[in-house]
Amino acid sequence: MRIFAVNGSPRKKGNTETLVRAFLRGAEQAGADFELVRLTDLHIQPCIGCGGCEKTGECVLQDAMQELYPKIQAADRVVLASPIYFYGITAQAKAFVDRCQALWSYRRLRERKGEWRDDPLRAGFLLSVAATRGQKVFDGAILTARYAFEAMGLPYGGEFLVRGKDGRGELALDSGTLARAEEAGRKMAAGGDEEGYFSKNQE
Ligand SMILES: Cc1cc2nc3c(=O)[nH]c(=O)nc-3n(C[C@H](O)[C@H](O)[C@H](O)COP(=O)(O)O)c2cc1C
């Protein structure tokens, strides 16, 4: 199993990085291979809404995203990790998601020719961390992730969400949550659990 994971946090050794590494450690224990990319290290321009991809299925912008498209398409699991910034994902993660419009266009073009088949064994997974504990704090990120994964041609697999972590390194001190994140990563790589494809994980 191949996992492609992107981290949208600009903070090195931050809570999202800690979370995604724990999750991927679990997946690795279950036999998966992974690649983890820090979006803030890459030059990814925002979508310019030119409509070019609607004609060709490819994005006209030539930047680091061009190397990510084939990785998304080849992955069995795509993991989108981001802290919550103003009730949504970070600007870095949003630029990545918006540029997946090209994959949506590619999918539409293939569907029109009858050449598209959903692969139910693939899936997208959201990981997120927020400082606060509000009931709705992850709602925006979940909606964005669901539609992003749909554009990538991936059924939504589930999420692992951590509330109440703010300072850099705070999550690294919470061994219980990290153990549960590892377990969720193992389940993701193993293909699901008895409660469904993946269970919801909210701390
Ligand atoms: C610009 C900015 C906006 C934020 N907005 C929210 C928010 O709306 N709700 C919340 O609970 N936390 C918010 N936070 C806090 C982060 O989600 C929190 O510090 C998180 O642990 C950061 O993860 P990281 O260490 O991976 O970067 C915000 C932080 C920043 C810097």
pLDDT tens figures, 86-107: 999 999 999 999 999 999 999 9
Cα Rg for the chain, rounded, in angstroms? 16
**144, pLDDT greater than 50:** yes
As a whole number, the mean pLDDT across the chain is 94
Q: Which pLDDT tens digit goes with each residue over 152-183?
A: 999 999 999 999 999 999 999 999 999 999 99
Nearest CA to ligand 1 atom 7: 86
Residue-level pLDDT at 192: 63
Cα 113 to middle of ligand 1, angstroms: 43
Give the domains, in start order, of the chain with CATH numbers.
2-202 (3.40.50.360)
Which residue from 190, 184, 119, 115 is spatially nearest to 149, judged by alpha carbons? 119
pLDDT band at 121 (very low <50, low <70, confident <90, very high): confident
What is the model's pLDDT at position 53? 98
Q: Where are the alpha helices (DSSP H) in the chain?
A: 15-29, 52-56, 65-74, 91-99, 101-112, 139-151, 175-190
Q: What local confidence, expressed as pLDDT, does residue 196 receive?
A: 47
In this structure, the dihedral spanned by the alpha carbons of residues 144, 94, 138 and 77, taken in order and rounded to 10 degrees, is 70
Query: For residue 186, is pLDDT > 60?
Result: yes
Mutate to test the pocket of ligand 1, among 23, 84, 165 (most ligand atoms within 8 A of CB): 84
Residue 181 CA to ligand 1 centre (angstroms): 19
Give pLDDT tens digits for 45-70. 999 999 999 999 999 999 999 999 99
